[in-house]
Amino acid sequence: MRRRTLLAGLTGAALLPAAPAPAAEAFHPRRVLHVHPGDSVQAAVDTVDGPGRTIVVHPGTYREVVNIPAEKEELTIRGASRDPRAAVIVYDNANGTPKPDGSGTHGTAGSATFTSAAPGLTVHGLTLANDWLRADHPDITGTQAVAAYVTGDRSHFENVRLLAHQDTLFADTTALDAFDRQYYRHCHIEGDVDFVFGRARAVFDGCRFHTLQRDVTFTPKGMVFAPSTARANPYGFLALRSRITSGAEDAAYKIARPWVPSYETTAWPSLVVRDTWIDPGIDAAAPYTNMRDAYPWQTMRFRERANSGPGAEISVPENRPQLTAEEAALHTPRTYLGNWRPYDRRP
């Protein structure tokens, strides 16, 4: 799948290099900043001088890396159009891509097109993409290429498209012992290998997860989720009222595998998928697999409830652990997010 295919139909605007924003003094006193093609989203972020600011991104394709540091609290970044395909932030770094300064490679987190550690972030009506392709770089073995790396507590993404191949959305936390919360509503997330992964307490409400076709002979071709939840955290990833669709052949993908990182071997991955339609691209008979034999998926906190579709058929019950009705009451947006209730408001 070539880069032009990944971004096909997202916007009619030409690819534009990142450019400086207007002078800082033009932005400094304003609570709403506007970014147009030819401007830089990062320059607008740098100009933000207090909480509660909004950056409006006008239709166009912005080829740049955007990094939102922790001090940019309560920031909103939204597309000017109702269509998230109209404004696209995209870049093409990978784990194994050399850094420009010669200090090594980017690493997985460092490959992200969009990074945020800011608490209270809201992103609405945009596309965030990483269009790096394995086929174009056969010499690079670190093929993870992240679209968004998010760690801040109370991070809210709505009507956002997240596009990449391997490791599209890194939903993580600010520290190993932090239970940072994230909420994704009506988002489209696509990729091929472990493309929703990390340690966050994250709710995916009414989202679409789409697996991509891969030109490989082996199966599984990939997994949708790879949570790495801390053992002390009672909640990891929750997907509800969502859809899992596939561009690959039947049974080519798994729902999940557990990720126990070498830097946090006590992790106890947690994933609940409930009230979700699953198409035949998911292996219904064996929807989970191991990442390492030392951490079998059967020992993890993987559960389902009331899913439907051909990929949700329970033909081998021991391979599809189900929540009881009593357990299901503990796996809701309210229990995962506590006193933060983004599902009660619109951004």
Residue type, 46: D
Sole residue written with tokens 């509503």 = 185
Among 205, 214, 219, CA closest to 156? 205
Q: Which residue in the block uniquely carries the two structure tokens 């966050």? A: 200
SS (H, E, C) 274-308: ECCEECCCECCCCCECCCCCCCCHHHCEEEEECCE
Distances (CA, A) of 165 to 146, 252, 317: 8, 15, 31
Contact 286, 252 (CB under 8 A): no
What angle (nearest 5°) sits at the alpha carbon of residue 30, between those of residues 181 and 57? Answer: 60
State whether residue 124 is helix, strand or coil. Answer: strand
The two structure tokens encoding residue 30: 């304003």
Could you tell me the two tokens for 214? 């891969």
Residue 292 one-letter amino acid:
R
Taking the CA atoms of the chain, what radius of gyration do you get in angstroms? 19
In this structure, what token pair is assigned to residue 109?
């987190």
Q: Which of 131, 194, 205, 283 is catalytic?
A: 194
Residue 74's closest CA among 119, 124, 123? 119
Residue 12: its H or E element: none
Neighbours of 150 (CB within 10 A): 28
- 194 labelled catalytic: yes
Reference 32, options 48, 49, 55; nearest CA is 55
Q: Which residues are catalytic?
A: 194
